[in-house]
């Protein structure tokens, strides 16, 4: 185990509710903005899950944990990913911040003892989505974007909400389409994002 992950394990209280514990861990490391964002995403994910016939509690858990890797300092992200033999794509080496989705999955597994592969997969692709996503993947992806505190949020949020009236696939596609049309503003274009876009076109 990487020493930093071992230190996180000492900080985490397994006796608490997962959502409360995730919030407390983020606050312990003074990640206040991320903690508040995660609360909002967890609530939105739970609501979306209930709307689309999925388990609200599971959606709430992945929402609470999706950005938990913010407790890892940026300079340690590649090192920790390599230690746990996480696949690191060229785009992720170029822009390690995007590794946070996979590292959040790692922390969910190593620290919060999440063993459910569907939960771990949703956390690990919440920024980019992926081809052939599960409903939970899309729920977390969409909830994260709806509650994303970005200056240009209005440029896609209305379209996403409109498309949500059709399906999860349509809403996810709307956001990815916006991202790719504005790819010049992105630090990297992650291949999973492109694969998700190509896959979702069949539902539009």
Check pLDDT > 90 for residue 11.
no
CATH number, domain at 90?
A: 1.10.3210.10
At 129-178, the pLDDT tens digits run 999 999 999 999 999 999 987 666 677 899 999 999 999 999 999 999 99
Q: How many CB atoms lie within 10 A of CB 135?
A: 18
| pLDDT over 70 at 9, yes or no | yes
**With pLDDT > 70 as the criterion, what percentage of the chain qualifies?**
97
pLDDT the model gives residue 24? 93
Q: What is the pLDDT of residue 152?
A: 67
CB 51 within 8 A of CB 33: no
The residue range of the domain holding 33 is 3-203
Task: Give the CA radius of gyration of the chain.
Answer: 16
Q: pTM for this one?
A: 0.95
Q: What is the token pair recorded at 51?
A: 């709307």
pLDDT at 13 over 90: no
Q: How many CA atoms lie within 13 A of 103 on its CB side?
A: 27
pLDDT of residue 76 exceeding 80, the answer is: yes
Position 12 scores a pLDDT of 79
Query: Total domain count for the chain?
Result: 1
Please list, in sequence order, all residues whose beta carbon lies within 8 angstroms of the beta carbon of residue 151, skipping any fewer than 6 positions away: none
Distance CA(120)–CA(177), nearest Å, equals 25
Determine the pLDDT at residue 156: 87
Alpha carbon distance, N-terminus to C-terminus of the chain: 44
For residue 123, pLDDT over 80 is answered with yes
Q: What is the chain's mean pLDDT, rounded?
A: 94
DSSP H or E segment with residue 63: helix 56-65
């Amino acid at each position: 185990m990487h020493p930093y992950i071992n230190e996180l394990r000492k900080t985490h209280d397994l006796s608490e509710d997962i959502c409360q514990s995730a919030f407390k861990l983020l606050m312990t490391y003074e990640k206040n903005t991320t903690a508040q964002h995660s609360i909002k995403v967890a609530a939105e994910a739970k609501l979306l899950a209930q709307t689309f016939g999925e388990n609200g509690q599971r959606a709430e858990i992945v929402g609470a944990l999706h950005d938990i890797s913010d407790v890892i300092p940026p300079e340690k992200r590649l090192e920790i990913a390599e230690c746990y033999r996480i696949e690191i794509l060229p785009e992720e080496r170029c822009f390690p911040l995007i590794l946070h989705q996979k590292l959040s999955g790692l922390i969910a597994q190593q620290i919060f003892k999440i063993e459910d592969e569907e939960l771990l997969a949703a956390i690990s692709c919440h920024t980019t989505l992926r081809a052939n996503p599960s409903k939970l993947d899309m729920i977390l992806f969409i909830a994260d974007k709806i509650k994303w505190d970005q200056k240009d949020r209005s440029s896609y949020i209305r379209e996403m909400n409109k498309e949500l009236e059709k399906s999860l696939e349509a809403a996810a596609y709307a956001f990815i389409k916006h991202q790719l049309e504005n790819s010049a503003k992105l630090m990297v274009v992650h291949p999973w994002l492109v694969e998700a876009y190509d896959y979702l076109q069949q539902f539009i």
